[in-house]
Amino acid sequence: MASSVTENYFINNKDYANQILEQERTNPTNLELIRQNGQIHIYQSPYRGSFSTVIRDSLRNAALGRKVLLAQLMKGGVNQGVLNPINLCGNLIWIRSSNSYDQHSLQDIKNNEGLSNSVRDSTIELWEFCKNQLLSGEQDQIILDEVFRAIELGIIDCEDLISTLESRFISGEVILTGTSIPKKLLLIADQVTELRS
């Protein structure tokens, strides 16, 4: 008697499975793979150059196998730029502006239009590279170091940054650093951290 109950159970389950398969054939469901974007983290500090923990964490992530882009928008001086990125740990692309604000005095930049245009153009070139990376989905983590300084100086448009972040295609986090954060960016951030001395 036990074997007939088992056989009936098996037959009933088999019939049920066949019914489900037939329903799928006649009325297929359209499944779509959705890739979820990672979080936006903002790190704020009262002074420049205080984001060593962010840079340390990016190196650790790269050593663990994650693809990381570290873009220092307002730093230069190591012969980098879009054409000369440095690759660390095999997974971290470290890139700086080819001609940046910290390489010159503010007075020299204000008094020399050619220098001012060169600095602006190299920072915009780096920002365009970063935008492409945000939209491509190739990186697991992207750090835009001192992006708020670039907004403050009018090099990067805040609305351009927001629209790029809203349409980004990255599964990991995007980290933004700087000293003064535009309020519009606070509204789209998942986490805001204030670093103190």
Model pLDDT for residues 56-86, shown as the tens digit of each residue: 888 899 999 999 999 998 887 677 788 888 8
Look up the CATH number of domain 35-194. 3.40.50.300
Q: Where are the domains of the chain?
A: 35-194
Over residues 90-145, the pLDDT tens digits come to 899 999 888 877 777 778 778 888 887 888 898 999 999 999 999 988 899 999 99
3-class DSSP state for residue 99? coil
Strand 86-88's sheet: what is its strand order?
Answer: 86-88, 92-96, 68-72, 141-145, 174-178, 40-44, 191-194
C-beta separation of 3 from 11 below 8 A: no
